[in-house]
A and B are shown apart, each in its own frame.
Chain A
């Protein structure tokens, strides 16, 4: 994996524990800079379209990156990850509409609901072999979608959650204000990415890689493969549901499409676009897909055809995602440079 290559090259220079801690520090620094840049955008360009775009990137980016924890790091190809996106949107929306809870309380409760759903669904799915795992997660996605459609008194059926989501002010934050919502979304995105990055670079993250590479060997060195898969399934589901929460706040409601299987498909597609061998790949894929989506739908009715062609280009042409491609190209260049150095 290219990311491991990158890790390795840095590992050659930095070896001690102190330097590892500074790797975490570097992530923090990048996150802080990223957050500062994002927050300054609305002040530099007063564009409502840009603000909306970034909020959607936050929602889909969290979702797609969490899917990469399953696909790229653990080798679990879920076709139903979108269920957590939908679950997050509906849980949060319903809690806000019906319980009068504060936003932070509803947010935490939404995380809990996703965790429990992830635990139950994961317990059934993660023992299954690849293709069955994919299909059964897809089946759960469809199940949740049809429950949302048919439980009309609670969910509003195909009309979705209507009437808006109340946004009581908390800690001086008013999510009814578009700028506040923007900053809150960016904060959730940056914190979510940081946490997932930490998971990926933790001992647990390497356990995931071992399970992906060779689950049999992993179990014969003492790893409880089933438990590890269940744990990452639950964690990824929780992060995906945060994406759903952002989306529900953005559209002030929740719609059955949020829980439809096409959301999972888009997640897979984003991962193909951006690549699964780098942590940041899915985030890059998200930005690409949303740009593609917005321009294609503006220019033509044949949005599906354009997406199809782009998928084929990445799948058949590059045979990898954009970031995989970039990292490999960079590594090759570096290797060439170093051979030139040694030969002269």
Chain B
């Protein structure tokens, strides 16, 4: 159970996160939506330790994550992928996975053995298979297509067996068809791995189709939470967000 309790974060005068409280029950799939600059990425950055909240608590299974470093938080079971794919350009896809599993097995500083360690192979191969990257395992990460780089970024988070997986716009920069393929993969991951998955997404069709739970952020605050039906019917959301979208769509 991930419990966010009254966290806030300001950058200068900008309140990027403003008194946000949210609970994410184990095994749930939640979409976070909100206009540009609403504080969605900041929300993830606070949970994963990239920034320290000005106030509030972030409890994972009863343990406070605030003040811990990103590597510590990862070890507690919160993994993430980034809005702009964040990978290791000169490593191959397979090396990336093998090295990441090694890190998770606390073998990142082993000096006396050769890379890759045999005990890392199975999990690395399994994750590549699951994300459909297996046939590109010998490719260097920098030579992958944009979509495959996003997949590799997700694979990097997933291969660590997180309890909670945060995906910051997994479909960013993709065409419509690729988007759906990606989101189906994300949905499949969630059903297969039974992890707590929170993802940020701009595309309303996608969100309403696959997310059982939705959180709407606006100016750093939680505007609404609920099921797709509840969100669609929420006047504040229609006003602040969906309304403008529909106008844009109509224009």
Contact = CB atoms under 8 A, between A and B. Distances in A.
Given A202-B110, A216-B86, A221 B91 contact: no
B138 A213 contact: no
Size class of the contact patch on chain B: 35 or more
Interface residues of A, number: 39
Given A214-B87, A222-B74, A224-B71, A203 B102 contact: yes
Given A21-B114, A222-B71, A213 B107 contact: no
Given A17-B118, A219-B70, A223-B71, A214 B89 contact: yes
Interface in B129-155: 138, 140
Interface stretch (A4-12, A156-164, A302-310, A322-330): A4-12
A203 B117 contact: yes
Contacts of B225: none
Contacts of B99: 203, 206-207, 209-210
Contacts of B98: 206
Given A201-B114, A214-B86, A231-B109, A206 B69 contact: no
Nearest to A4: B90
B108 A228 contact: yes
Nearest to A18: B118
B156 A20 contact: no
Nearest to A24: B114
B88 A4 contact: no
A1 interface: yes
Contacts of B79: 220-221
Interface in A188-228: 198-199, 201-207, 209-210, 212-214, 216-225, 227-228
Given A222-B74, A222-B160, A223-B71, A20 B116 contact: yes
Interface string B78-96: 0110100011111110110
B116 to A, nearest CB: 7
B70 A207 contact: no
Nearest to B78: A220
B88 A12 contact: no
Contacts of B127: none
A334 to B, nearest CB: 15
Q: Is the interface of B mostly helix, strand, loop or mixed?
A: loop
Contacts of B80: 220
A23 interface: yes
Given A4-B90, A207-B99, A219 B108 contact: no
B192 interface: no
Contacts of A213: 87-91
A199 B115 CA distance: 10
A221 B160 contact: yes
A207 B103 contact: yes
B108 A223 contact: yes
B111 interface: yes
B111 A199 contact: yes
Contact of A205 (B87, B90, B115): B115
Contacts of B103: 207, 221-223
Nearest to A225: B71
A224 B68 CA distance: 12
Nearest to B108: A207
B104 A198 contact: no
A207 B108 CA distance: 6
Contacts of B111: 198-199, 202, 204
Contact of A203 (B74, B86, B94, B113): B113
A220 B74 contact: yes
B109 A12 contact: no
Which among A4, A12, A20, A222 has the greatest number of chain B C-beta atoms within 10 A? A222
B247 interface: no
A212 B71 CA distance: 17
Contacts of A12: 138
Contact of B109 (A17, A23, A207): A207
A75 B50 CA distance: 22
A219 B71 contact: yes
A220 B48 contact: yes
Given A206-B115, A207-B99, A4 B92 contact: yes
B156 to A, nearest CB: 6
B112 interface: yes
Contact of A221 (B116, B118, B140, B156): B156
Nearest to B85: A217
Contacts of A218: 88
Pairs of residues from A and B, 10 with the lowest C-beta to C-beta distance, nearest first: A17-B118, A213-B88, A222-B74, A203-B110, A217-B86, A207-B108, A206-B99, A20-B114, A219-B70, A222-B71
Given A202-B110, A204-B111, A217-B82, 7 more contacts: A202-B113, A204-B110, A206-B91, A206-B115, A214-B86, A219-B70, A221-B79
16 contacts: A8-B140, A17-B117, A21-B114, A198-B111, A203-B99, A203-B102, A203-B116, A203-B117, A204-B109, A207-B103, A210-B91, A220-B80, A221-B100, A222-B71, A222-B74, A228-B108
Interface of B: 48, 50, 69-71, 74-75, 79-80, 82, 86-92, 94-95, 98-100, 102-104, 107-118, 138, 140, 156-157, 160
Interface of A: 1, 4-5, 8, 11-12, 16-17, 20-21, 23-24, 198-199, 201-207, 209-210, 212-214, 216-225, 227-228, 231
